[in-house]
Structure 1
Amino acid sequence: MIAAWGIALATTERNGANAPPKDLAKGWLQLQPWLAIKAGTEHEQMYVDAVRAMYEGYDKTSGDERWQKYLVHMQELRQKYPDDINASLFYGLGLTWTAGPGKQGIEQRKKALAIFLPIFQQYPDNPGAAHYIIHAADTAELAEIALPAARKYASIAPDSPHALHMPSHIFNRLGYWKESIETNQASARVAAEWVKTGRDGRFDELHALNNMEYAYLQLGQDRQAQQIIRQIDEIAKTDPWLPIDARIYYDLETHNWQDAAIIKPPATSQFDENFDAYWIQTIAAAHLGDPHTAEQALEQYRRSSAAWIKGHGWGDVLGLALTEAEAWTLFSKGKHDEAVAHLRNAAQYERDHPMYYADILPRPTGEMLGEMLLRMNRPKEALEAYQAALKLAPNKLDSLLGAETAAAKSGNIPLSQDYAAKIRAEGGLIASRP
């Protein structure tokens, strides 16, 4: 019965009750034969009843409603069996996955952390506790809390590529680029060994490489980042998007707008999956002073992202990206003040609505605002924008370089030198960003 429970829960992955209908249909079908069998103990039955509540009526009721039913069942289970730390861990994980953006989401993540942290303190080698702390604290506001768990988790499960990768979520949030590279190198190495022995490690290897590329770019080590992109090109046989996303990361961070402008989605990709390509096309065309192309790409992004949101969610993240694309399109048309107003609103929204990102951290809106204000020769305002961006994404190279330039142009040479020293202190290079 517990095996059936585990399969059913795993089939939904992190989406839980909001998993795609095809996954819910598959999991529900697998669970059906077991629901007619009475579990050996009440304890086991409560686990099964909880996952049943997550699935039952999936074709008629909302995912949010079924999530809440699952959480009620798990809360009853942990109260009835307080010594069952797994019940508490899975309840806390449910709180984490249902924590939306914004202050309310942060409070729910804190509630989950209040469950996880004492368990981690008591059982520092429990992989669930360390793992789930990282997920719960994967926001700019909470990341510092998870640093002990992040530094411990890789040693708990050194033969697991995912366990080796997960600490980088926190290292990326805090701007600890060297540690991010080291843990992802280990993850990619173990994942490659899995592949050699016939195990499914290809996604983990590519995901670790993506994170290594991003970290190298934040250190200004562009050549190392290019080497990683070549590795991704060589091994990404089943997912044509991975090399394209790696190229988008590189072009965005290095401001290679000429290359970014010609990025296209894979020929086999569905329209609702193409928003990444349309977004970077919009940003690139705007930087190249081509408002007509920017407008065309923006419309494609608007339609593609709306279709994705309808089927998969992520409206907060993609909506923020839409505002960024709209702002740069306005800027390319000469509507500079209107563009700045768009980015100010977006940057404020980003600060007021803390977001969880499933993948590499995006470029903070405040960083874009700083760049725009610098181009308008408003360095004092640009400096404020970069400083706000660095609170959300510490040690991000583009923000540090922008802040250095803005401080110098504002006449604050000591502050400018401080930013340059901060880049070098992390081992970074004062890389060229045109």
Structure 2
Amino acid sequence: MKQFILLVVPILFSACKNEAPSAEATSHLGELHESFVVSEQAKADFERGLLLLHNFEYDDAREAFLRAQEKDSLAIMAYWGEAMSFNHPLWRQQEFEEGQAALEKIAPLDLSAIAPLEADFIKGTQILFGEGDKDARDQAYSQHMKEMYANYPENEEVAAFYALSILGAVPVGRDTKAYEAGAEVAKALLARNPNHPGGLHYLIHSYDDPVHAQLALNAASSYSKVAADAVHALHMPSHIFLAVGMWKEVVSSNIASFEASIHRKEEKQLDNDALSYHALNWLQYGYLQLGKFDEAAQIMNDMMSYCDTLPSKSARSYGIAMKGAYLLETGNWDHPVGNYQFDMEGLGITARAKVQFIAGMQAFRSGYAEVLADSRQVLEEDIKKSALLVNESGLPMCSSGSANYNINQLDLDQSTVMAYQLRALEAQLANNPEKAEEWMLKAVEYESGLGYGYGPPVILKPSTEMFAEWLMANKRISEAKTYFEKTLERAPNRLIAVVGVEKCAQVNL
């Protein structure tokens, strides 16, 4: 049965900020055209939870599903929704025990009268939180959703979750074939419902690279309007804008997203971890690419303040990334952030690699060969130890539990590139240009095999750009121009590479 639902009712503010929004107080989150077997008293909360789920607002979605359960303890799909809020496929995260606990609430309920569609959705979630390692469960779930898509070809929610499952079944990095398949499902969904938040959201993720990004510009422009009250939806268009080098749009998207996260934090009386450091990271990078270094410096100062106030894993991880981006993009190594030290406890290999790379760069600039060698050795030893935690498929060996940030082969590969770059810097300090070139070419080759990495670069300095700068310093202008252009193929309109190409052209005049 189809029912048109447009959730655009203005928010009703309460004098008590901790009071949950009423079922009717649903804001701009997108449109649903499908109706599930949910009682009238629980329906609005359930549908709000479903919309929030598609917008990756997992905590708020869970709250909505729990409210639906309170209003109707027999609302089976509200328990399904709660379980789904613990699965974050594109973030490679799953809170396994919590998801199982949510599904266990269904056990005492009478399932004899449940509709086949709902039964199939619940079966899918039981696969996600069932036996086997996470990769196997993700693959099995995607196959299940493929079968559902064949059985319910017109159902928009089936299509949305199938599209997401295709992307979520890719264990490491980006698989172009799979992402294109996900895009086709999302496009078919949007042909029926142009304002479906999942269709827009998953299409953007599917086309999030410089080759395909132009195909999602319309979706990017629409999504932030369709789901204007979702912090993540306001950020998501910048994935496409960054992939094509539209820096002003990257900035505006992430200003909106970060401001929305401030509003949510204040409204729900949450701590600083409710702030979208993710949007702040992208905002800073956008300013850096526009050459607005003062604005980027202010954001860096704000981030250091957040880390001082609440030094959570999230704050520290983003702080490290933003420190590296600021120093490398501006060349302002005298900024106070250069001396800011982050506690590394509990952080992942790529964050630790960035710390050693930044320290190595600082040592290189100061001519401290021993300090540079120490940073490189610490990084290489860390990579060796971390490799023991990854299996032959490049997946974490402990991926069935609830740990969020399990290391994978891509993490190791990105860290390895930074280690190669440090070796190249060591060779430069040793006045060994042949060895420096050898290590830079190894870094270029290794990084080029990793595929496109969306967002501000994890490898803080693109290897092609580092090599181009070295070639230019050694008067090999034609080669330098080639490698600056290679940088721009993967990072359109990246400021340092754009300026590099221009300088090469001027030298050749």
TM-score (norm 2): 0.73
The 3-state SS of whatever aligns with 1:274 is helix
The yes-or-no answer on 1:181 pairing with 2:259 is: no
Q: 1:306 to 1:175 in 2, by over 3 A?
A: farther
2:301 maps to: 230
The yes-or-no answer on 1:371 pairing with 2:490 is: no
Residue 382 of structure 1 and its aligned partner are, at CA, apart by 1.0
The 3-state SS of whatever aligns with 1:197 is helix
Distance 1:53 1:122 in 2: 28
Aligned-partner residue type, residue 276 of structure 1: K
Residue 365 of structure 1 and its aligned partner are, at CA, apart by 2.0
For 1:65-89, what per-residue CA distance to the aligned partner results, in whole angstroms no more than 9, with x for missing partners?
1111111111111111112111111
The 3-state SS of whatever aligns with 2:182 is helix
Structure with the largest fraction of helix: 1
1:432 maps to: none
The yes-or-no answer on 1:56 pairing with 2:119 is: no
Distance 2:453 2:85 in 1: 21
Residue 356 of structure 1 and its aligned partner are, at CA, apart by 3.8
1:344 maps to: 441
Aligned-partner residue type, residue 344 of structure 1: L
The yes-or-no answer on 1:33 pairing with 2:105 is: yes
Residue 261 of structure 1 and its aligned partner are, at CA, apart by 6.4
> Does structure 2 retain, via aligned residues, the 8 Å contact 1:54–1:66?
yes
> Does structure 2 retain, via aligned residues, the 8 Å contact 1:5–1:51?
yes
Aligned-residue Cα RMSD (Å) equals 2.7
Q: 1:308 to 1:92 in 2, by over 3 A?
A: farther
Q: 1:353 to 1:267 in 2, by over 3 A?
A: closer
1:427 maps to: none
Gaps of 5+ in 2: 1-75, 390-395, 397-405
The yes-or-no answer on 1:255 pairing with 2:331 is: yes
- Specify which of 293, 297, 300 is matched with residue 378 of structure 2: 300
267-276 or 376-385, which moves further after superposition? Answer: 267-276
Q: 1:397 to 1:205 in 2, by over 3 A?
A: same
> Does structure 1 retain, via aligned residues, the 8 Å contact 2:417–2:446?
no
2:452 maps to: 355
1:393 maps to: 491
Gaps of 5+ in 1: 414-434
Identical columns (%): 25
Pick the structure with greater CA Rg: 2
Residue 230 of structure 1 and its aligned partner are, at CA, apart by 2.4
The yes-or-no answer on 1:99 pairing with 2:188 is: no
The 3-state SS of whatever aligns with 2:153 is coil
1:403 maps to: 501
TM-score (norm 1): 0.84
Instruction: Tell me how many residue pairs correspond in the alignment.
Output: 404
Residue 394 of structure 1 and its aligned partner are, at CA, apart by 0.5
> Does structure 2 retain, via aligned residues, the 8 Å contact 1:164–1:183?
yes
Distance 1:271 1:141 in 2: 29
Q: 1:319 to 1:257 in 2, by over 3 A?
A: farther
Q: 1:204 to 1:88 in 2, by over 3 A?
A: farther
The yes-or-no answer on 1:3 pairing with 2:75 is: no
Q: 1:203 to 1:302 in 2, by over 3 A?
A: farther
Q: 1:359 to 1:214 in 2, by over 3 A?
A: closer
Q: 1:321 to 1:187 in 2, by over 3 A?
A: same
Q: 1:159 to 1:261 in 2, by over 3 A?
A: closer
Distance 1:199 1:291 in 2: 49
2:66 maps to: none
Aligned-partner residue type, residue 279 of structure 2: A
The 3-state SS of whatever aligns with 1:7 is helix
116-125 or 310-319, which moves further after superposition? Answer: 310-319
- Specify which of 344, 347, 367 is matched with residue 289 of structure 1: 367
For 1:26-67, what per-residue CA distance to the aligned partner results, in whole angstroms no more than 9, with x for missing partners?
22233223246426111111111111112212xxx3322111
Aligned-partner residue type, residue 88 of structure 1: A
